[in-house]
Amino acid sequence: MGWNQYGGWRIGIRSFDKKRYYYYAHLRQNYPYFTGLKEGSAVTAGDVIGYMGHTGYSTKENTNNIKTVHLHWGLQLIFDESQKESDNEIWIDCYALTRFLYKNRSQTEKVPDTTDWARIFQMKDPEVLKWKKD
């Protein structure tokens, strides 16, 4: 979680088996993340983690140098830790996956008296439950 000049406000999520890394960038200025989300939080598919924006491509935090609100996201496969941040990174083209997720998205609703949105139907992921016990 944090800011950089290219992705603006961004979030990276590592799978429990450490083989996949999900990257979300150009989040909303001033309030990019869901309330209570912090580094090390466990999230489940469909959880609201952040909000679309157009930050980034600037050396100044909270600057919007992109014209269109959107979400930049990527998926990296990691079979060997030495591949991380090297010339051997394996990134996946997410277009087909985006179409699939769009058809199976989770309904959300505004959380009263906040600026947050949350999923309506909760989901239990056994891996998250196991992680919380450890």
> How does pLDDT run across 44-84, given as a tens digit for each residue?
888 899 999 999 998 888 888 888 898 899 998 888 777 66
What does the buried/exposed string (b/e) look like for 53-76 if buried means 16 or more CB atoms within 10 Å of the residue's CB? bbbbeeeeeeebebeeeeebbeeb
User: Using 50, 70 and 90 to split pLDDT, how confident is the model at 93?
Assistant: confident
Residue 109's DSSP bridge partners are 118
Q: Is residue 2 predicted with pLDDT exceeding 90? A: yes
pLDDT on residue 37: 95
Domains of the chain by range and CATH? Answer: 2-133 (2.70.70)
User: Using 50, 70 and 90 to split pLDDT, how confident is the model at 95?
Assistant: confident
Mean confidence (pLDDT) of the chain: 88
Q: What percent of the chain has pLDDT over 70?
A: 97
3-state secondary structure 95-109: HHHHHHHHHCCCCEE
